[in-house]
Amino acid sequence: MFLPNLCSFHHILMLSVFTGAANGYYNSHWSQCIYSSSDFSDMVYLIDYYFNKYVYVQYNSTVGKFVGFSEFGVKTAEYWNKNPEFLQQLKADVDRVCRHNAELYKTAIHDKAVAPVVKLSLVKRGDSRHPSLLMCSAYDFYPEKIKVSWLRDGVVVTSDVTSTEKMPNGDWYYQIHTELEYIPKAGEKISCMVEHAGFEKPMIYDWNPPLPEFEWNTPLLFTAGVAALMLGIIIAAAGFIYYKSK
């Protein structure tokens, strides 16, 4: 699953009404080109028309006509849909505007993408009653668009997840950090999935928890005990030899 790409064009017209205050009516339209495939075969051209932040009519290239969302919007859509030349021009804009600009973006930016460096770390250790806190960090990636998800046994987690905003490093690269709070279960696999233009496919990083403290302390204690025992034997043997030689 790759991230959808979006390029948009926003135009605003303000009609002021002089009532003694800085009031006004805002009429705007927002053009968007949305796609996710590398060959732009799923390109969708949307034009939303707003009046005071509310959409009243929309053009969708997959539908091929305008659709109204208010009484005025329905009348406007009916009027524009009676103009075949206008609809044909908008249909041609899928190639002339959307695909053309998407190809320029792919050549100038997308193809020069830098894949992120991903690191998983344990922020807080938990047990059967207290949650653990894991962090998945992505560093030094470009462009900015990225998606980071948590998986539990291959299923995307939608709760107990927090994330920072994408933060610029100041050197054209970005970083992002997301945390998962969960109660550990035996045999469960926790993974971090990262989707970015620098990867040919979504990358999955499995969390390998560190050994519990008693598991890694026991071999160290055993090794130290054996070393102390051997040292004691050597000292005793040296003392016995010295005693016999005298």
Crossing angle of helices 71-81 and 84-93, rounded to 10°: 90
In this prediction, residue 1 has a pLDDT band, given cuts at 50, 70 and 90, of: very low
Pick the CATH number of 5-111 from 3.10.320.10, 3.30.450.20, 1.10.10.10, 1.10.3720.10: 3.10.320.10
Number of helices and strands in the chain (H, E)? 4, 14
pLDDT at 52: 86
114-206: which CATH architecture? Sandwich (2.60)
Residue 23: is its pLDDT beyond 70? no
Give the count of beta carbons closer than 10 Å to the beta carbon of residue 98: 22
| Contact indicator for 62, 48 with CB cutoff of 8 Å | no
- How high does pLDDT run on average in the chain? 82
Of 128 and 3, the one with more pLDDT: 128
- What's the pLDDT tens digit per position in 120-162? 999 988 776 788 899 999 999 998 999 999 999 999 998 999 9
The CATH 3.10.320.10 domain(s) of the chain lie at: 5-111
State mean pLDDT over 86-115: 86
In the prediction, which pLDDT does 11 show? 46
DSSP helix/strand/coil, 73: helix
Average pLDDT for 37-66? 91
| Chain CA centroid to CA 173, Å | 15
pLDDT category of residue 14 using cuts at 50, 70 and 90: very low
Note the pLDDT of residue 212: 59
- From 153, 161, 201, 199, select the one nearest 178 (Cα to Cα): 161
Cα separation, 171 vs 139, in Å, equals: 12
Predicted TM-score of the model (pTM)? 0.49
Instruction: Tell me the pLDDT tens digit for each residue of 96-110.
Output: 999 998 888 777 766
What does the pLDDT look like over 170-209, one tens digit per residue? 888 999 999 999 887 888 899 999 999 899 899 999 998 7
Q: Is the confidence at residue 163, as pLDDT, over 60?
A: yes
User: For residues 209 and 187, what is the distance between their CA atoms, to the nearest angstrom?
Assistant: 11
